[in-house]
């Protein structure tokens, strides 16, 4: 009986640990760090977090590589522009309003100040935050089927 309980508790622990690891979100400073990396370093680093390749676009204007978490909860994309490097950014997307609220509080706690709001080209509402020269944009989805997105600029 005792061995059965040990096996059950060990199994539950491993299941909880794996779900926490595989559904990994990132802290704001980690997103900013990804943005400061070159694309090759970013690709290597994101794979260490068990994210899997999702898509890429390479044009004369920019390179985009997108990865998703093993449980498909999160998606992260890195844009590198060939011209204006200030446009380089990380886009981190997820469906959870709870995650969005946590990130919103973290942005304010990190000393960012709201500087503007508006709508994206596709109609989603966003709020811009700045701290020094650092910019974060928080984008809310139009519908419950869409995703929340955090954009971290250089």
Per-residue pLDDT 10s for the chain (154 aa) are: 544 434 433 333 333 333 333 357 899 999 999 999 999 999 999 999 999 999 999 999 999 999 999 999 999 999 999 887 778 999 999 999 999 999 999 999 999 999 999 999 999 999 999 999 999 999 999 988 899 999 999 7
**pLDDT of 1:** 54
**pLDDT of 39:** 94
Alpha-carbon gap, residue 22 to 24, rounded angstroms: 5
**pLDDT of 62:** 92
Backbone angles phi, psi at 102, to 5 degrees: -60, -45
Q: How many C-beta neighbours within 10 Å does residue 79 have?
A: 20
Give the pair of three-digit tokens for residue 105: 């509080």
Beta bridge partners of 149: 93, 139
Give the pTM. Answer: 0.81
How many residues are listed for the chain in this entry?
Answer: 154
Tell me the C-alpha to C-alpha distance, in Å, between residue 48 and each of 29, 52, 67: 17, 10, 12
């Amino acid at each position: 009986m005792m061995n059965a309980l040990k096996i059950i508790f060990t199994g539950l622990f491993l299941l909880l640990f794996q779900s926490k690891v595989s559904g990994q979100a990132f802290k704001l400073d980690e997103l900013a760090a990804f943005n400061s990396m070159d694309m090759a370093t970013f690709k290597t680093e994101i794979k260490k977090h068990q994210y899997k390749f999702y898509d890429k676009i390479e044009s004369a204007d920019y390179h985009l590589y997108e990865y998703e978490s093993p449980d498909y909860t999160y998606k992260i994309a890195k844009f590198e522009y060939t011209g204006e490097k200030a446009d380089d950014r990380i886009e981190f997307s997820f469906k959870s309003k709870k995650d969005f609220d946590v990130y919103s509080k973290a942005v304010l706690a990190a000393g960012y100040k709201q500087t503007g709001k508006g709508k994206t080209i596709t109609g989603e509402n966003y709020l811009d935050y700045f701290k020094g020269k650092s910019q974060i944009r928080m984008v809310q989805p139009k519908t419950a089927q869409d995703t929340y997105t955090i954009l971290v600029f250089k």
